[in-house]
Every structure is written in structure tokens, then in C-alpha cells.
Structure 1
Amino acid sequence: MAAPRQLPARVSGIMVPASIQDLEALRALTALFKEQRNRETAPRTIFQRVLDILKKSSHAVERACRDPSQVDDLASSLQLITECFRCLRNACIECFVNQNSIRNLDAVCIAVDLIFLFRELRVEQESLLTAFRCGLQFLGNIASRNEASQSAVWLHAFPELFLSCLNHPDKKIVSYSSMILFTSLNSARMKDLEENLNIAINVVEAHYKQPESEWPFLIITDHFLKSPELVKAMYAKMSNQERVTLLDIIIAKVMADEPLTKEEIPVFLSHAELFASTFVDQCRLVLKLTSEQYTDDEEALATIRLLDVLCEMSVHGDLLGYLQAYPGLLDRVVDLLRLIHVTGTDTTNIFSACSYIKADSNISNMAEGFKSHLIRLIGNLCYKNRVNQDKVNEMDAIHLILDNCSPDDRNPFMTQWVVYTIRNLTEDNTQNQDLIANMEEQGLVDASLLKKMGFEVEKRGDKLILKSIHDAPQPVLGRVITEPCPFGIERGERGLRAINTSRAKSP
């Protein structure tokens, strides 16, 4: 590689300061290192020279930390520091040899120490932020696909760098530090996070504040969700808003086009245990939302989001069997449905039925749709499961489910979920079929309602038979289609419950 041209000491008789010569030489190097061939032919001595300039310039930052009055005199030193980091950052791009050479010159330690000084200054000067960002970019590039460099970064940066950067007010600093964390994490280092939960929780908070940034999201999906122990420990320590954020990511993972792998199934069974257990213990918290003073209660909203996760998990056959047998889950869901149905009928509150359609309304309260999702989960838990079918009957809940078949703007697709759940309750279960048929005979269920749901009662001698009308519309993916489809587990209306999304209109 051709070395960058050195500026003469004098230009037109004027002495050129050494710092300006260094800055121009660094800029030339930075430009040269944009080319792969120049990176591959760079001599080690160049990196030593760059690090010498970096260490010399860092003394000014150290003095400013001791004496804040000197912060305003940092301009030239910050320029040099920034360009040193840019130069080293570019040199490391897809170049294993340069990564090793620069690391062996102790550059990681130097960079991390400087970043700590930047954080200590707590000055929002743009020049300081630029140097800060470039330092983080360098650490990310030197660690990329290089285990030895990742180990060095982890040794020097963990946990202080992540604790100080992941909650920084500058979005780019949060993003770049997330990149470093993602690049450096592996299964062995996950244990370190279990002992420093604040870092893991800060990643979730970073995703909440910057959903457009890919790095916090990837850390959670590609690392955190592979560790049931970490997720359980995090969930216990999180705020309710952070829990909702984590649950949203899990829903996105479960609903992704790519199915869970064989390796992921045991992990998500552990997640299912955590969320089912938490829901069983805390589900009655949602009743606080019946009071106007608690309509934004975050603890209740986090519990509601648990129901969404359980609904999506119950779509997957490997997770469904576990949830169907989870002690107390079906009982709690049925009991809660009964409580909010009675409460919503007796008084006017967020769980009361609303029979008109608001065409341009937004879902601003996560409690909307909660009742329909309870019915949906009951349907999934009863899919091809005679024990649960009979349990719903024994709890006198079939009539309760049928009683929710009216259109309800607060619970989009309610009628479709009732149809789906009744079909799963009556599939290969003559006892439940006879119960519904007798309800119709006694006038407890309107025949027109049954027909609307795709059923009719036929009398054969002294026996009443509940029959399916095969050409009746069946629920699927939150829509109504005109072709019959088999009974089964149904997905929800994708995106319907997401915060700040437009409401899907009822069909």
C-alpha cells in the first residue's frame, strides 16, 4: 500500500502545526482503507503510529475530566481522536489480519478507556459525540467475526461500557453499543448477563425507545430468547412496560413465517411455563381496568399481553400439548371470562359490549379484544382434547361462550372466535353436542344464532342431534371465508392488538 503523502513542515513560509499534519495524514489513511487491497497490504507500523496519536490526544480528555473548565479546549484533540478511530475502524473491515495486529497493540483497552472518559465528561458537544460514536464503531468492527477480539472487547468493556452506553441519550451511541454487545455475545457469556441483569433490561428498554434499530431486537431474539434462565430472571426484575416490550418481541418471534426449530422448541416450552404460571397467578389483575382510575394500569396491561403470548404459543402443536395440560390454566381462563362478562354486563366499563362500529378508531387500550382472546384460548386448549372439552362443560361455560356471540366493537371477530371454540368443544364429543341441542330445545339458545354459527338441531325420534352446516362460513386468520375448513387451532388477527395500529374492521 502506498503511504499517504506527508505534508511539509512549512507551507508558503508558514509553520504547519504537527497536529494538522497528523490530521491530514489520518484522513488520507482513512480514505485509503476504504479499499480492500489497501487494508490487506497495510504495514503494522502504520497502526502503531495511529495509536501513538490516539494516546497522545487522549491526555487532553483526561485533563478535561479533572478540570471541566478545559472542555472547551478539546476541539483539536477530539478531531484527532475521531480520525484515529475512523482510520482503525476502516482498517478492520473484513480484514482478520488487521484486526489481530491492531488488537495486539492494545488498541481495545485504549479505546475502551477513552470511551469511559467521554462518558465521564457528560458533555453533549457534537464533536465529543462524534468521537464517542466512532470509538464504538471501531470496537464493533474489530470484534466482527473475530473470537479473539470479541474476548478482548468483553474483557475490557463488560459490564461498565454497556451499563453506561445502552441508556445514553444519543440514539447512535445506544445503537453502536448494542452492535458491540450483539457481536460479542455467545452462550458462555450469557452467564455474565444473568449476573448483570440491568444490561439485559437496558437492551429491552433500548428496543422500546428505538424500535427502528435492529441491534437490540437481534440481541433479544438471537441471544436472550435462547436462555430461559435469563428470560425468567429478567421478567421478575422488569418494569411492566419492559415486560410488554419483551412479550411483543416473543409474539413476533412465534408468529414469524419461519417456524420454531427443533432446538428452539424446548426453550419455548420453558418460556410457555413461565408465562402460563404468571398468567394463572396474576390474571385477575385485569379487573382493575373496570375502574376509570386504572384504565392505564401497566400491571394489568402486562397481564393482558401474557394472554396474547399464550394464544400465539397455543397455535404451535409442540407448545399446545404442554399448555393444554398446564395445571389451572383452562380453569383460570374460563373463570376470568365469566368474571369480566358479568362485570361488563352489570356495569358500563371497558369490558362492556359495544355494538356499533367506529370506522376510524384506533386501538389505544390493550384491553380491547381481551374477551375474544380468552374465548380463542379456550378453543385452542380444547382442540382434540376430550379432558378439556369435558372440563368446560363441567364448569358450565358452554352457555357462557354462546352468550358472547353478539358483535362487539371492543372485541373484533368475537362471533368468529365463538364459532371456532364451539366447534372445538363439540368435535367428537356427543355430550357437549347434546347439551347445546337441549339448550336450543329449551329456548336457552336461539336457533337462528346456531344457524349463524354453522349449526342446526335435528330431532331424531326422542333424541336431539346437533349438526354442522357444512357450507357455513368458518373463521380463519381473523376473517370469514366462504369455503369450509377443518376444525383446528387458529391464529389471531395478525397485528390487531399491536399498540398504535389502525383497527381492523369487523367483517
Structure 2
Amino acid sequence: MADTMDDASLLNISLPDDALQQLLTASGSSSLKEILEILVESSRTGGGRSDLASKNILPTVLRLIQSISYASCRQYLILSLKLFRNLCAGEITSQNSFIESDGVGVVLSIMKSAGLDSDADCGIIRMALQVLANVSLAGEKHQRAIWSMFFPNEFVTLAKVRSQETCDPLCMVIYVCCDGSAGLFQELCGEKRLPIMTEILVTASSVGFKEDWLKLLVSRICVEEIYFPLLFSNLYQVSASEQLEDPNLRDNTFSTEQAFLMRIVSEIVNEQIAEVIIPIDFAVSVQEIFKRSIRVVDFSSKGKSSLPTASSAINILGYSLTILRDICSREGSAGSNSEGSADVVVSLKSFGLIEMLLCLLRDLEPPAIIRKAMRLSENQEGTSLHSGKTCPYIGFRRDIVAVIGNCAYRRKYIQDEIRERNGVLSLLQQCVTDEDNPFLREWGIWSIRNLLEGNGENQQAVVDLELQGSVQLPELSGLGLKVEVDQKTRRAKLVNISSK
């Protein structure tokens, strides 16, 4: 029967006549290439998949593919893998048949024949991973069959293939398996120092990613669970010689991979802030990274771009701020005015977040509009203008103000701390337009609103500043803003003059 195939001589196929006849009958062709192409096309639809499953085609193709040599017949392997992928797309009969016929082992052999190193055939590997991904969606039995053959060594090897086209489906396979079985997730995170996730992140940081599976994995491992500090530490890379020269270097530098992880986590927190319960340990670890980054970043050079920049340290500084901004936008679950509430802001406050942010804000040179006024005063009075630190990236000042403003929202203990640390005037000075900090004015007004809401002491502090002339500044009046004092209640609020 093999002689009836016009390309069989290329393959040295060793299949029984009944198996070959099954392929010929199902496709109506005598060319192996055409047979596979016809079956691939048929399997694109649900009806076609059901029909081929009823004919038990998958085990026959698995036997066929085992007789094909990768070196001379790559096109047949690609077509066979496409057929497996399509057949196993939601068709439980084929998904079961794949597992029962040792399809996982066959696919692993194909991957190894395609190479799992720097010269890997990424097209073959991607297709093979897509097959496994579709099979894994069938349930825990299928997930465990894949896991038992690939975890941990094969997953680590695949994660080291520095290719976007293999990284995305690999993340899907791992996520679906772990999402369907808590036990597999524990195995993934229980593996010493998380080598699989570390290598995946190294790969993704260098080649990028298109699909959301990586984010889903990172969200589960870093945001919902406790492994963010470990992964962040793993991604630190420095040469052995540098480590020998300076054993404290780990505390003073960051890697591009660490900055990549921070960016991904920042996006996750921003996208899922209403859905994810943020563990306190995660929030505190981000604050510690922020604190470290302050010591590393050079504030003498003004940043000319927004995030991401060319500097890993600046990116980590910025992304840690945006993570804190979004974390602090949530109210405490036990009532936001109580310092005893189950609110991560309580822990962040206890570790000095507000004090650190206010100090940073004071150390920065004033916004451009205020600097102009100060220069005018300097020229008139002959005084010297102290420049202060500059923003290392466009939006840095805005992000600081955003974190403070979110922390102050309906949290009296934060409102009080800002007043007690003489931060009221500093925040009033942020209600300005600044070309280096888009939306600074909006975040400044939001922060003042939150600072004054329900807090008579803060309202009185602003009244006192106005009566002293301390807030009659060009950045307020020049933009049509002023502090308005109710003559009866003596309470103050920031208002827009143009709206009156």
C-alpha cells in the first residue's frame, strides 16, 4: 500500500497497510503531503474535528509521525503537528486519544529532534507546544500527563529557548496546567528558586511577548502569592568578577530583567486592581525596592523621556511608584478612616512611605512655573536660587503626588501625618501645569481634595496658610485657582476661579 503514495519513498514509512488505507480513505488522496493538508483543512471546523475523531484518525497520524525523519521531512512534521493541534481543539475524543496513545511522548521526541538550544527550530517547537496547550484544556488528567513528562527539566530547557514564538505557548501550557490543579502550582513554586519562571522572564525580557499567558502566570505567582521577592532577586545578573570586586553590588544596581518584571507587575496591578486582593508582604516588598532605587538613581540629570527609559534603575524607581499608586488607590476593607483596618496602606505607612515621599517632593526642584516666579524674585532681590534634585523621568513628580493623594483618600491617619510633617504647602504647590509632568495639576487637585475631606485640622491649616499669604502663589492664582474660606464655618477648599 505504501507504493500507492507518490512521495512515500522519501519517508521510509513503516505503517501497516490498514493504517495507510485509513489515511487514504479519509482524505481521498494518494500523496502524503496532500493527505495531511486535506486533513488539516477538515479539522479546522467543529464538524470536521468530530468526523475525524469518529474515524480515530489521531492514533494513526501519531504512528505516522514517529516514522518521519525531522532532518529530511520537516514539512510533514509541521503538517502533522497542525493536524494534532486542530484535532485537539475542544474535541474530547481526540484529546483522550492523544493521551492514551502517548501523544505527549511523541511530541516531546519531535521537540528534541528540532533542537532545544540556541539553534532550535522554533516553528516546530511552537506548534508542538500549541498541541500540548489544546490537550491541557481537557482537564486535570491531561494536565498531569503533560506535567509528569515535562516538569521540571523539559520546561526549564524550553524556557531557555530565547524566542517569542515559543515563550507564549509555553506560558499557556504551564498556566493552564497550574490553573487546573493546585497541586501542580505548588510544584511549580516549590521547585528551588523557581528556575522555570526565572528563565521564562529572562526570555520574555529579551524577546518580548504578545499573548497574556505570561501576565497571568506572573499575576498568580507574584501578586496573588508570595514569590515576587524571590523572582525579583533571581533576575539580578552580574558578572562573577564584579561580584568579587564589590560584594555589596547587589544592593546598588538592578538588571534589565528586574526592570522588565517590575513593568509587567505594574501593568497587572493597574489592570486588575479591582479584582486582586493585594498581599501586604507584596506591597511592602515593592516599597523596599522603591527605597533601594532612590539610593541608586542619579537625580542630578533631568530625564528626557517617560517610562520606560534606557536605565534599569530609573525604570524600577518609576514602576515601583506606579505599583504603589495603584495599590494605595484601594480603600481598607474594614473602614478607611481606621488605622486598624485591613489596609495595606497601614503597613506602608508604618514603614515610612509618606515620610519618604514628602522628603522626595521637597528635595525636587520646584515645577517650572514656580521656578520662573522664583527666578523673577531672585533677579529683583538678588537672592540665590537653590536648584534641588531633578525628575529622572517625565512624570516622576506626578507619580509621587499620585501615591500621596491615593493614600490620603478617606484615611484620616494619612491626612494627619501629611499635616504633621508639614506637607500641606508642598502638596498645594503641585496644583500646577508642568510640561515635565503631564497631569500633575489634576493629581495635585485630587491630593488636596483628599487631604481636606473630613479633616477639620487640615482645613484649618490651609486657612492659616491663606491668611498668612503662604498660598497666594503664582502657580495657584495664575491658573485660576484659589483657596476659598467659608466665612461661617471657616473651612477651606481649593476652587477654580473661572467657574465662579
Q: What count of residue pairs does the alignment treat as equivalent?
A: 425
The yes-or-no answer on 1:316 pairing with 2:330 is yes
- TM-superposition CA deviations, 1:267-318 (whole Å, max 9, x none): 4444323323433x42533652324799854124202211111111222214
Going from structure 1 to structure 2, the CA distance change for 1:82 and 1:347 (only over 3 Å counts) comes to: same
Select 2:124's aligned residue among 119, 122, 131.
Answer: 131
1:289 is paired with a residue whose SS is coil
Distance 2:117 2:396 in 1: 48
Question: Does 2:188 match 1:188?
Answer: no
Q: CA deviation at 1:48?
A: 4.1
SS in 1 for 2:484: strand
* 340, 352, 367: which one aligns with 2:364: 340
User: Is the partner of 1:290 in helix, strand or coil?
Assistant: coil
C-alpha contact (below 8 Å) 1:48/1:105 kept by paired residues: yes
1:93-492 aligned at under 5 Å gives the runs: 93-120=89-116, 123=119, 128-186=121-179, 187-194=182-189, 195=191, 197-205=194-202, 207-208=204-205, 209-221=207-219, 223-225=220-222, 227-239=224-236, 240-256=255-271, 260-261=274-275, 264-265=276-277, 267-279=278-290, 281-282=291-292, 284-285=294-295, 287-291=297-301, 296-318=310-332, 321-326=343-348, 327=350, 328-341=352-365, 346-347=386-387, 350-351=390-391, 367-446=393-472, 452-457=480-485, 465-468=490-493
Report the alpha carbon displacement of residue 153 of structure 1 after superposing the two structures with TM: 0.9
Contact 1:7/1:21 (8 A) holds in 2: no
Contact 2:40 2:82 in 1 (8 A): yes
Q: Can you list the C-alpha shifts for 1:124-151, whole angstroms capped at 9, x where unaligned?
A: 6xxx544333322222222222321211
Q: What TM-score comes out, normalization by structure 1 length?
A: 0.71
Aligned residue in 2 for 1:91: 87
Alignment CA distance shift 1:380-1:466 (3 Å): same
2:51 maps to 38
Alignment check: 8 A CA contact 2:266 2:320 kept = no
Percent pairwise identity = 19
Q: Structure 1 residue 156: deviation in Å?
A: 0.9
The verdict on how the C-alpha distance between 1:459 and 1:235 changes in structure 2, with shifts beyond 3 A counting, is: same
1:64-88 C-alpha deviation (Å, 9 max, x unpaired): xxxxxxxxxx223x33433332333
Cα gap change, 1:80/1:455 in structure 2, threshold over 3 Å: closer, same or farther?
Answer: same
| Residues in 1 aligned to 2:473 and 2:87: alpha-carbon distance in whole angstroms | 76
Give the deviation of 1:25 after TM superposition.
4.3
Contact 1:119 1:164 in 2 (8 A): no
CA change 1:435–1:50 in 2 (3 A) is closer
| CA-CA distance at 1:450 after TM superposition | 5.5
CA distance 1:226–1:162, shift in 2 (3 Å): same
List per-residue Cα deviations over 1:233-266 (Å, max 9, x = no partner): 212323443344334344434443x7634xx32x
Structure 2 residue matching 1:455: 3-state secondary structure: strand
Distance 2:117 2:64 in 1: 21
Post-superposition CA distance 1:174-196 (Å, at most 9, x none): 23323322322233222233225
CA drift at 1:377: 2.0
How far, CA to CA, are the matches of 1:17 and 1:198 in structure 2? 39
Report the 3-state secondary structure (helix = DSSP H, G, I; strand = E; otherwise coil) of the residue aligned with 1:444. Answer: coil
Cα–Cα, structure 1 residues 274 and 293, in superposed 2: closer, same or farther, change >3 Å? Answer: closer
Whether the 8 Å CA contact 2:116–2:158 is kept in 1: the answer is: no
**What is the CA distance between 1:41 and its match in structure 2?**
0.7
Work out the CA distance in 2 between the residues paired with 1:338 and 1:383: 21
Equivalent residues of 1:269, 1:322 under 8 A apart: yes
Q: Matched residues in 1 for 2:194 and 2:487: separation? A: 64
Helix, strand or coil at the partner of 1:335: helix
How far the C-alpha of 1:108 sits from its partner, in A, is 0.7
- Superposition RMSD in Å: 3.7
Distance 1:405 1:82, change over 3 A: closer
Query: Secondary structure at the residue paired with 1:75?
Result: coil
The 8 Å contact of residues 284 and 336 in structure 1, kept in 2 or not, is answered as: no
CA distance in 1: counterparts of 2:129 and 2:472, whole angstroms = 67
Contact 2:59 2:97 (8 Å CA) reproduced: no
Q: Secondary structure at the match of 1:425?
A: helix
Q: Deviations over 1:415-447 (max 9, x none)?
A: 333333233333343333333333333333317
State the Cα distance separating 1:411 from its structure 2 match. 1.6
Structure 1's unaligned 5+ residue stretches are 1-5, 62-73, 352-364, 474-481, 484-507
- Distance in 2 (CA, whole Å) between partners of 1:255 and 1:341 is 29
| 2:210 aligned counterpart, secondary structure | coil
CA contact (8 A) 2:81 2:128 kept: yes
Residue 355 of structure 1: aligned partner = none
Q: Is the 8 A contact 1:447 1:456 kept in 2?
A: no
Compute the TM-score of the two structures, normalised by the length of structure 2: 0.72
Distance 2:262 2:225 in 1: 14
> Does the 8 A contact of 1:50 with 1:84 survive in 2?
yes
One-letter code of the match for 2:447?
T
Residue equivalent to 2:339: none
